[in-house]
């Protein structure tokens, strides 16, 4: 199940508001994806963010859902749901929920984030493993995605090929650093048309699922939205692709060149 968690975390990240800065997104944004292996469709995924409240406080609520379809669903049924309640003033998570069902394996986990009680650290309270003290500014796997879009991608012109970006997150009840190596600008052909994209390799763990540290590649649109357009996973059994099929509620028009 750890292998599935690794893939899911990367899917979530490539698929996730700035205090006092221009944001790359608004609540109401929703992106839908098709997951396939060659010509075989294996699943669907979606990522959306919306207005919500928690304990009387206005927050932004992000939900990522991934599920198998067709033959893949008959062989090994997967339904993974991740949620993050984000404080729009700080861009940090308040509550993180992981609710996964993968074959016979089920897991539900809630983590409360306290960024205010201690001046030098954050307090995380998990319903499964108790209290953890971590560094300040810790993200969950969804809030990390939005932070990356707002604070790193708008300055991509200053990036050089090979530059590494690291954001610390809390995932599967442990510290999980997201490390992304910038590979440059590349045009990607999609069903809607050709999109100029920023290309990254997240550093992956060799041995469990991947042969090298560069077996995952993903592309963000090189416009003001910085939405994830495509992901490619090279794993031991081959490669599969995650492609965006539908965009709703984007803050800016998506820059597409017709095929």
Q: Has residue 186 been placed in a domain?
A: yes
CA distance 102 to 80: 8
Residues 6 or more apart in contact with residue 35 via CB below 8 angstroms: 41, 42, 43, 44, 45, 66, 240, 241, 242
Predicted local distance difference test score (pLDDT) of residue 115: 97
CA distance 115 to 122: 5
Predicted local distance difference test score (pLDDT) of residue 252: 94
- CATH number assigned to the domain comprising residue 131: 2.40.360
CA distance 41 to 189: 18
pLDDT average, residue stretch 150-178? 93
Q: Which two three-digit tokens encode residue 231?
A: 């992901």
For the chain, the domain total comes to 1
CA distance 137 to 51: 22
Phi first, then psi: give them for residue 148, nearest 5 degrees: -60, -45
pLDDT at 177 over 80: yes
Q: Has residue 254 been placed in a domain?
A: no
> Which domain does 216 fall in, by range?
2-248
Q: Has residue 259 been placed in a domain?
A: no
What percent of the chain lies above the pLDDT cut of 90? 67
Predicted local distance difference test score (pLDDT) of residue 259: 63
Residues 6 or more apart in contact with residue 8 via CB below 8 angstroms: 66, 80, 82, 100
Q: Has residue 157 been placed in a domain?
A: yes
Predicted local distance difference test score (pLDDT) of residue 47: 94
pLDDT, one tens digit per residue, over 193-252 is 899 999 999 876 654 554 555 678 889 999 999 999 998 877 655 677 889 999 999 999
CA distance 50 to 248: 12
pLDDT, one tens digit per residue, over 109-134 is 999 999 999 999 999 999 999 999 99
Q: Has residue 221 been placed in a domain?
A: yes
Residues 6 or more apart in contact with residue 92 via CB below 8 angstroms: 86, 113, 115, 137, 138, 139, 143
The more confident residue out of 8 and 238 is: 238
CA distance 243 to 35: 7
Query: Whole-number mean pLDDT of the chain?
Result: 86
Q: Has residue 257 been placed in a domain?
A: no
Q: Has residue 35 been placed in a domain?
A: yes
SS3 148: helix
CA distance 225 to 258: 18
What percent of the chain lies above the pLDDT cut of 70? 85
SS3 201: strand
Question: pTM for the full model?
Answer: 0.86
Q: Has residue 253 been placed in a domain?
A: no
């Amino acid at each position: 199940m750890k292998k599935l968690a690794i893939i899911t975390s990367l899917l979530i990240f490539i698929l996730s508001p700035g205090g006092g800065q221009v944001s790359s997104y608004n609540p109401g944004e929703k992106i839908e994806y098709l997951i396939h292996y060659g010509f075989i469709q294996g699943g669907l995924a979606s990522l959306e963010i919306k207005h919500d409240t928690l304990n009387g406080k206005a927050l932004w609520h992000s939900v990522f859902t991934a599920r198998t379809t067709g033959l893949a669903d008959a062989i090994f049924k997967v339904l993974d749901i991740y949620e993050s309640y984000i404080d729009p003033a700080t861009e940090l998570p308040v509550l993180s929920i992981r609710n996964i069902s993968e074959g016979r394996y089920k897991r539900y986990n809630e983590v409360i984030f306290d960024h205010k009680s201690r001046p030098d650290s954050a307090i995380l309270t998990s319903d499964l493993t108790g209290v953890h003290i971590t560094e300040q500014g810790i993200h969950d796997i969804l809030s990390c995605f939005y932070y990356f879009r707002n604070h790193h991608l708008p300055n991509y012109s200053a990036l050089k090929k090979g530059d590494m970006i690291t954001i610390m997150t809390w995932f599967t009840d442990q510290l999980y650093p997201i490390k992304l190596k910038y590979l440059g600008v590349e045009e990607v052909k999609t069903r809607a048309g050709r999109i100029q994209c920023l290309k990254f390799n997240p550093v992956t763990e060799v041995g469990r699922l991947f042969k090298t540290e560069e077996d995952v590649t993903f592309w963000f649109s090189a416009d003001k939205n910085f939405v994830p357009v495509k992901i490619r996973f090279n794993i031991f059994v081959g490669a599969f692709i995650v492609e965006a099929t539908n965009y709703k509620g984007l803050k800016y028009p998506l820059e597409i060149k017709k095929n």
